[in-house]
Structure 1
Amino acid sequence: MTLLNRMNMSQKLTILVVFLLLIAAVPMTLYVNTAITDLDSTKREVAGAGPAIALQKVVQYVQQHRGTSAALLGGNDSVANRLSEIQRELNKAVDIVDAKLKGAEISAKTASLWSLQKQRIVEIAQAVTARQLKTTESTAQHTKLIADILFINEEILEESGLVLDPVASTYFLMNASLINAPKLAENMGQMRALGTGFLSAGSLTDEGRAKLMGMFSNVSMFFSDFMRNIERATQSDMAMKAALESKSSEVKALIDKTLHMTNQELIQAKELKLPANEYLAEYTRTIDNIYSYNSIAAENLVQTLEARSQDLQQGVSIMIGLLALALASAIAFSIMIVRSITLPMQEAIAVANAVASGDLTSRIEVNSSNETGRLLQALKTMNDNLVDLVGKVRSGTDQITTASGE
């Protein structure tokens, strides 16, 4: 208490104001930090969505390369030019992924894995062009390459935080667009490659028929998973729901048509008569429609994440501005309160000191009715009474002096 006793009123009030500001600053700081953390997480998701979506284009062209390679290695030389076109598009897609990865926060491990897959893309393409692979070997290497690229996609989704998105709509949309759709397209891509190889060779083994039947049943399951997550994502967004539902029936019809062709011309066929080029073109058209449909979902995902990022950025800016305004107002108001207390107190002290020194000529103005105002009023009354008393004493003294002289 000794320290407090040595402090004057203004110092005590200043300490009290600072203490109250610190108490208010703690929850405010926590709130702002939480908002900034959410903003950073959303920005990281937006950055991660770019390469994840670009990787799907790489997978799409690798799938086309796989199917066309199967036809070429099966003896169909007419697809050689088409294979060269696919390779050029694949190289462009790889360059886009490289550009997208520069803006994403991915680990050195994931970057290294991507570099390895780029090298494998080149090696497989060279081996197919030189016809150093059998059809089954080419299909197996392409399939392994796609599986590894999809693994990189999963790593990017995890490192960017997309798999842990806190909002239900974007969480389900991410699952549909970046997880379910690639699985659906890849399963159909494998059916395209296997079927093209069998039709080019003109024969279908029992093992090949069993593989096609297994993939046949998986396609419906993968498409169901994809549409279920799309439905969950669009429950609260009617515009998104309308955009996606308008094409879902078309995609489903194409898938059903392609599977029917596969069943009739391959799985149930006693003799393979369908030209490999027709089978390849039918599957390519269906898979391209799956990717086209999914691109709408992916675009909606990115737009939603970007809108959330902008809203959070605006919210953080507004909150910081309001906090700064509130802090400035609190400081200004605190100064006014401190001055409203200390200035009258200083005036009261000055009056008391003047009275104590015998000066009763002080002019005391009372401008408030609070505690300090009542103190000044009391000092004014005391000063006026002392002036009156001194006046009476002087008058009495003068009368005594006059009487003594008489």
Structure 2
Amino acid sequence: MIVNPTIAGAFTVAACFAATKQWTVSLRDKRRIKHAISQLIRLKELIDLSQQHRGTSSAVCAGNASLTGKLTFLQQEIDRFIAASENTDMQKLPQWLSFVDHWPRLKKQVQQRKLTSHQVIRQHNAMIEGQLSLFDDLSRLYNLHHFMLDNITRLSELCLDTLRAAEILGQMRAVGSTLCARGHGGGAETMMLSFQRLTANSRIAELLRETAGIRNKELIAILAGQNDRIERDTDLLLQTIDQQVLIEGAITLSADEYFKTATRAIDTVLNVFSLIINYAADNHAKLN
């Protein structure tokens, strides 16, 4: 069979064009996915700053003036984050607009000491809940909810569950720091911390079940030992709360020491988030 050279050449050119187009689309997808994951990592940083600001500002409003410098630093960091987020996809989402509207007013009220510690915590809780919803909205905007770590575990859901587990610990950090700064229990904060302690216990247990149930050999190796660390650090925090904060009489534990104990537990949980999201960034082709 004799093949017309012109036709053969046309097929070759078409094949090369198709391959080039496929490579271009693939490269564009990789860049889009890496950008999407980087935006989620940035949003996690904002949540972390907001959680630290909640604990610090509630302690300051309870009378711990030694944290005033840290409070100012955190406010400046959040302002910088907002300024750096101009012209990003986050700006299009209602939860982001709600946050940038609320933050300046909350910051001013804290600076002027117009809020009680209880009010500071409640406003921050609502603001951070909005940021967690924004994380979910961004995941859906970038179609990351289709990414599977195994047959049943969604990347975005596990990441969000990890952030929510860290958030209940963050709430306990804020309330406990307030009580330690005040030097005695009682009132709304004691009731709040007692309730949060129960919630944290169940939420951490659920996260441990989720991570233990992952059926991805590569990720299992990356997460090896993390559950033990989470249990160790959260157990220490809960023990500290039971023995040194939720007690009758004077609380002698310093707000700074309590803050450090709580932060260690939070950081251990957030390390799991970092390991999972970094794995996704490096292996997204396998997950989609």
Place the TM-score, normalised by the shorter chain, in its bin. 0.7 to 0.9
* Structure 1 match to 2:229: 250
TM-score, scaled to structure 2: 0.80
Q: Structure 1 residues 128 and 287, CA, compared in 2 at 3 Å: closer, same or farther?
A: same
Q: Structure 1 residues 173 and 226, CA, compared in 2 at 3 Å: closer, same or farther?
A: farther
SS in 2 for 1:75: coil
Q: Give yes or no for the alignment of 1:151 onto 2:133.
A: yes
SS in 2 for 1:225: helix
- From 216, 238, 244, the counterpart of 1:236: 216
* Structure 2 match to 1:282: 261
The answer (yes or no) to whether the contact 1:176–1:227 under 8 Å persists in 2 is no
State percent identity of aligned pairs.
20
The answer (yes or no) to whether the contact 1:172–1:229 under 8 Å persists in 2 is no
* Structure 1 match to 2:45: 57
Q: Give me the whole-angstrom Cα distance separating, in 2, the residues matched to 1:141 and 1:205.
A: 21
Deviation at 1:143, TM superposition (A): 1.0
Q: Give me the whole-angstrom Cα distance separating, in 1, the residues matched to 2:91 and 2:34.
A: 16
Return the letter of the residue paired with 1:192.
R
Q: Give me the whole-angstrom Cα distance separating, in 2, the residues matched to 1:165 and 1:37.
A: 18
Return the letter of the residue paired with 2:236.
K
Task: Give the length in aligned residue pairs.
Answer: 272
* Structure 1 match to 2:99: 117
Deviation at 1:250, TM superposition (A): 2.0
- From 285, 288, 294, the counterpart of 2:273: 294
Q: Give me the whole-angstrom Cα distance separating, in 1, the residues matched to 2:287 and 2:54.
A: 39
Deviation at 1:294, TM superposition (A): 2.0
Q: Structure 1 residues 282 and 93, CA, compared in 2 at 3 Å: closer, same or farther?
A: farther
Q: Structure 1 residues 166 and 60, CA, compared in 2 at 3 Å: closer, same or farther?
A: closer
- From 260, 263, 277, the counterpart of 2:239: 260
* Structure 1 match to 2:4: none
- Aligned-CA RMSD value: 3.3
Return the letter of the residue paired with 1:218.
T
The answer (yes or no) to whether the contact 2:147–2:155 under 8 Å persists in 1 is no
The answer (yes or no) to whether the contact 1:180–1:226 under 8 Å persists in 2 is yes
Q: Give me the whole-angstrom Cα distance separating, in 2, the residues matched to 1:38 and 1:236.
A: 24
The answer (yes or no) to whether the contact 2:34–2:281 under 8 Å persists in 1 is yes
Return the letter of the residue paired with 1:57.
E
**1:145-195 deviation line (CA, Å, top 9, x unaligned):** 101111111211222222233563694343222x11111111011111111
Q: Structure 1 residues 41 and 222, CA, compared in 2 at 3 Å: closer, same or farther?
A: farther
Deviation at 1:76, TM superposition (A): 1.0
Return the letter of the residue paired with 1:49.
I
Kindly name which structure, 1 or 2, has the bigger radius of gyration based on alpha carbons.
1
The answer (yes or no) to whether the contact 1:176–1:225 under 8 Å persists in 2 is no
- Structure 2 stretches lacking a partner, 5+ long: 1-17, 19-23
- Structure 1 stretches lacking a partner, 5+ long: 1-28, 30-35, 310-406
TM-score, scaled to structure 1: 0.59
Q: Give me the whole-angstrom Cα distance separating, in 2, the residues matched to 1:94 and 1:252.
A: 34
Return the letter of the residue paired with 2:209.
R
* Structure 2 match to 1:180: 161
SS in 2 for 1:227: helix
Deviation at 1:247, TM superposition (A): 3.2
Q: Map of 1:320-331 to 2, 5 A cutoff?
A: none
Deviation at 1:142, TM superposition (A): 1.0
Deviation at 1:95, TM superposition (A): 4.8
Q: Give me the whole-angstrom Cα distance separating, in 1, the residues matched to 2:187 and 2:140.
A: 40
Q: Give me the whole-angstrom Cα distance separating, in 2, the residues matched to 1:175 and 1:63.
A: 20
Higher relative contact order (CA 8 A, sep 6+): 2
Q: Give yes or no for the alignment of 1:127 onto 2:109.
A: yes
